[in-house]
Amino acid sequence: MFSKILIANRGEIAIRIIRSCKEMGIATVAVFSEADRDSMHVALADQSVCIGSATPSESYLDEVRIVGAAIATGAQAIHPGYGFLSESSKLADLCEEHHITFIGPKSEAIIKMGDKDVARRIMAESGVQIIPGTDIQADVKSAKKAAEKIGYPIFLKARAGGGGKGIRLVNAPDELESAFQIASSEALAAFGDGALFIEKRIHPAKHIEVQILVDESGTVLCLGERECSVQRNNQKLLEEAPSPVVTEKLRKKLYDAATKVAKTVNYVNAGTVEFLLDEDENFYFMEMNVRLQVEHGISEQITGMDIVKWQIRIATGVSFDFSQKDITLRGHSIECRINAATIGKVAFLHVPGGPAVRFDSALWTGYTVPMYYDSLIGKLMVHASTREEAIRKMHAALCELVIDGVQNNIDEQIEFLSDSEFQSGKYQTDFVEKRGGK
């Protein structure tokens, strides 16, 4: 087992990883930018290293500085969390070069699944159902021809990155040229790669993802599915586990497909396989996230497993001492992402409590939310014996959560929970759009 791990991230996910490390008796190293000098993850870690300015490219996105900090502090492993360098094959390679363990998959798997165009082709060749679409489109002219053949509406999608960036819905031919330029420019700015491919829009549909863990021996465990259909501009806002529409029969099929995806690319460690599910229970591979997910906590709540601890164990070569039949899904969990709408100082913070209520956050009264990073400032999660009880519990928890001084989306989350379509469980990926959410 490692004696010291460097966390190559910030905010709530860095704190989440630090807590698991502490429970395992592992010392931690925090890295921070100048903007995060007074952040909670810095205070909670055993050591901390400043790695540059507030600009991500000069701190959290600099692989060389991250590895340098690990070498300087004697850290034996690096956990990337999610976002930033969590899907960087360069970081994984640098770690291997300097005999530091990267807590995640090998660079080969990152490369294969990080390029969504390549991932589509690999999955199609292995027999996993993919969304009808194209390879990379060289320009607007070729994209127009391909779109006409597939039929509108279509999605233009960046082959790199994630987080909903570089994706545009195109409903008609006259929208394509502008959407192509915008999506390509957005992807280039976010990921350094403006290449786009086309996928047919599957609609109506639900966004379902399967959480997996894979040990070095190739044993794949599925930790239930998550429903992620409440989203705006392809960014998830609310997730629940398990999905209210997935039956045991369908779950088995999803597990089989997720397992096949992992085995096809020799995947190791934690990952998530994402699918679109249509009204006839046909599901299509969308992508694989080769990292810890933002919403991993609700999978932990329904399985009783600490996914971060298992990431660390797997990275040391520990094999599972249990099998898929030992994993039981218990009750129902919901996560609401709390996003800041403005920057500013938290004048007052009150965190809800009670049985099975969890708030992952780096906020504290007096903390100033910086302008340089993602708007996510907290994840409120609840667990209950039934979905109905979980909805009521989340409603109560949201009403109790107070974050004064920074505008946020707490009220909107309450509205989502109160919507009859959400309560029915039949909501789909256009849920926010239909409610008039921009």
Using a 10 angstrom Cβ sphere, with 0-12 exposed, 13-18 middle and 19 or more buried, the burial of residue 309 is middle
Spell out the residues 6+ positions from residue 248 whose beta carbon is closer than 8 angstroms to its own: none
Out of 10, 291, 358, 387, pick the active-site residue: 291
Beta strand ranges found along 77-124 (DSSP E): 77-79, 101-102
In sequence order, what DSSP letters do the residues of 331-377 get, joined into one string?
A: SEEEEEEEEBSS-EE--EEE---STTEEEEE---TTPEEPSSS-SEE
Where on the phi/psi map is residue 54: left (φ > 0), alpha (ψ -120 to 50), or beta?
A: alpha
Burial 60-97 (b: 16+ CB within 10 A, else e): bbbbebbbbbbeebebbbbbbbbbbbbbbbebbbbbee
| Length in residues, the chain | 438
CA separation (Å) from 192 to 9, 233, 234?
20, 20, 20
3-state secondary structure 190-202: HHCCCCEEEEECC
The DSSP letter of residue 318 is P
- Residue 353's φ and ψ, nearest 5 degrees, are -130, -165
- Which tokens belong to 3? 């004696």
Which contacts qualify for 170-176: CB closer than 8 Å, 24 or more apart? 173/144, 173/147, 173/148, 176/140, 176/143, 176/144, 176/147
**355 vs 333: CA distance, rounded Å:** 13
**Which residues is 7 bridged to in the sheet?**
30, 79
Annotated active-site residue 291? The verdict is: yes
**134 vs 17: CA distance, rounded Å:** 38
CB count, 10 Å around CB of 255?
A: 20
- Residue 127's φ and ψ, nearest 5 degrees, are 95, 5
Please give the positions annotated as active site: 291
